[in-house]
Chains A and B, each alone.
Chain A
Amino acid sequence: MRVLERLESRRRHWQELEQLCVRLEGGSRKVPAAHVSRFAGLYRSACADLALADAYQLPPATIQYLHQLVGRAHNQLYRYESSRASGWYREVFVDVPQRLFADGCLRLAFAIFWGVFLLCLFLAWRDADFAAQVVGKESLMSLEQQFSFSYRPQADMQAGMAGFYIWHNPTIGLRCFAFGMLAGIGGLYETVFNASALGAEFGFMIHSPNADNFYHFVTAHGPFELTAIVLLAAAGMRLGFSLIDTHGYSRADSVYRAAQRSVPVMAVGVVLFLLAAGIEAFVSPSSAPYSVKAGVAIVSIVMMLFYIIVLGYPGRREQRK
């Protein structure tokens, strides 16, 4: 059989496969079943043609075309199905809490954040100059001024503040996560930086005449927001430390394994930031009595403890089966 005849006999099939690829790539999910099975058959025959291309003496340009065609069809045929709702439920309420409970990086990030935070709080309480050395005099002045009066915004302004918190806080957290990739050092730096600045400010405000306004404001959203930053830092550290301690895998494989586990943790952190933003905009500045705000804080702490300890306690997986 001459090459030309063979090409002519196959050309029709390849072009049909190409057209089906275009249809499938178009994103229309409703491709008739007949087309799908036809697609699979055409794909396999194109694979066979590529395997025999050398023996068939196909011209190099045609072989390159076949490589591209097979790659394109392969990409459609082995496309992942979007996850089902039950899979999401299991991931969110079973797998992630268990992972958090057992996560050494989370404990480390928690210890570092709260250790540095409390240390700086203590030092700033003892010595008034300490806070100024950590965060600078200007930001202390603006902090003092910000809480010099009890802030009661209008409803419209609250929506604006919610947007600001949604933009500003998760952005800090996600950067903290991403910098963890630099061998964990970037994440450690960001964690210590945030913890020391916040601790110094909290310690400084104890002596301030406006302490009441300040603590009124920060109580309600504090638990969610501070836990969120710890979660994102921990997820980033997991990525970074996996570069160093590879558990016997190659470095690339080790990072890949860690990444798969850290992405849901990152997502939980972002969700906590969003919850905190809502509370910070609508509850924290409201005129509700302090007991309400403290109640919000306690409820949020209980919710998080439930999520990590009750849902995450090892052994639940076996019970469910």
Chain B
Amino acid sequence: MDAARKQIDTSVEIVTPENISFRYWLAGPSRRLPAYLIDVLIQVMVVVSAGQVLGSVLGSVGLWGSFSGLFLVILFLVHWFYGAILEAVWNGQTPGKRAMHIRVVTVQGQPIRAWQAVLRNVLRAVDCMPLAPVALGMPEHILPLFMVGFVATSLNDRFQRLGDLAAGTMVVVEETSRMAGVLKFRDERVNEIAESIPPSFQVNRTLGLALSLYVQRRKALSRARRLEIARHLGEALCQRFNLPPTTDHDLLLCGLYQKAFLGSPSAETAGVG
């Protein structure tokens, strides 16, 4: 909640006690709505199946009064405390949130406490306003439109609805990407070009960053697009290394990447292409 926090996009910077800053990406409506729908579906399934079981057990002995009583107690617990209990126990996640890879954390990036889970779930009652009839002409207004929550999320830079604002929480994306290392090339021509680069040439930090960004993305680009992008750097490098102007700029950048990041070109050629 510090006033001096820098935020330029939908990522929030968290500074840990180890004095390391890392980033959380905020979850917007496109992830939170499906998560909510999954949770609603689970709630409906729990209530309906509890009704089935209770009905068959208590109905067979004729205790219809107890059946309706227990059923309504379950409805009460599921309606108001499904999200609260699960978020408190599962460290900020419900099944829907787990499926959409999102998690509730405090605005300081720490795990939430039980009272925060309870509060943000109770206050969903006001975030889901206004209620609409399920079909035109139906008397019961039970379909939540979430306009209050939607407006609230768009008015602050952490996508917090009113419940999140009061509880001091935010919802972040928790993508668990696989570890991506250095890419390797199968193409022999890359090795040839790498050999022809003067050994004295040192790749500095900005050039290294540009190379690795290019190599990471080139697989998704067409051949013509690769050449178009690689030309800007490739022409300058060709002049510098005294390479013929017919050199393939795409392969030249790959060769330079290989030399800078993988060491001697003959060391390894197998792996990801």
CB distance from A277 to the nearest CB of B (A): 9
Known contacts A15-B179, A50-B20, A78-B111; A252/B1 CB under 8 A: yes
Which chain B residues in 37-71 approach chain A with CB under 8 Å?
A: 63-71
Q: In whole angstroms, what is the CA distance A59 to B182 when docked?
A: 7
Q: Are A163 and B260 in contact (CB under 8 A)?
A: no
20 further A-B contacts with Cβ under 8 Å, apart from A159-B69, A166-B72, A256-B166, are A4-B263, A27-B89, A27-B90, A57-B208, A60-B212, A68-B175, A70-B16, A72-B174, A74-B14, A74-B109, A78-B110, A80-B111, A156-B65, A157-B65, A158-B65, A160-B64, A160-B66, A161-B69, A258-B166, A259-B167
User: B182 — which chain A residues lie within 8 A by C-beta?
Assistant: 3-4, 7, 59
Query: Range of interface residues on chain B?
Result: 35 or more
List the interface of chain A (C-beta within 8 A of B): 2-5, 7-8, 11, 14-15, 18, 25, 27, 44, 47-48, 50-51, 54-55, 57, 59-62, 64-68, 70-72, 74-75, 78-80, 82-83, 153-154, 156-164, 166-168, 170-171, 174-175, 177-179, 181-182, 186, 239, 250, 252-253, 255-256, 258-260, 263-264, 266-267
* Choice from B1, B76, B110 contacting A256 with Cβ under 8 Å: B1
Q: Are B80 and A170 in contact (CB under 8 A)?
A: yes
Would you mind naming 23 contact pairs between A and B with Cβ atoms under 8 Å apart?
A: A7-B181, A27-B89, A48-B20, A50-B20, A51-B20, A54-B205, A57-B261, A60-B212, A61-B216, A62-B179, A68-B175, A70-B16, A70-B20, A71-B109, A75-B91, A80-B113, A159-B63, A160-B64, A160-B66, A160-B67, A164-B72, A182-B126, A264-B115
* Contact count A vs B, C-beta below 8 Å: 195
- The answer to the question of B233 belonging to the interface, with a C-beta cut-off of 8 Å to chain A, is no
Q: Are A160 and B69 in contact (CB under 8 A)?
A: yes
* Choice from A68, A160, A175, A266 contacting B125 with Cβ under 8 Å: A175
* Choice from B177, B183, B203 contacting A65 with Cβ under 8 Å: B177
List the interface of chain B (C-beta within 8 A of A): 1, 3, 14, 16-18, 20, 22-24, 63-73, 75-76, 79-80, 89-91, 103, 105, 109-111, 113-115, 118-119, 122-126, 156, 162, 165-168, 172, 174-183, 203, 205, 208-209, 212-213, 216, 260-263
Q: Are A2 and B263 in contact (CB under 8 A)?
A: yes
Q: In whole angstroms, what is the CA distance A177 to B162 when docked?
A: 13
Q: Are A239 and B80 in contact (CB under 8 A)?
A: no
CB distance from A15 to the nearest CB of B (A): 7
User: B175 — which chain A residues lie within 8 A by C-beta?
Assistant: 68
CB distance from B200 to the nearest CB of A (A): 16
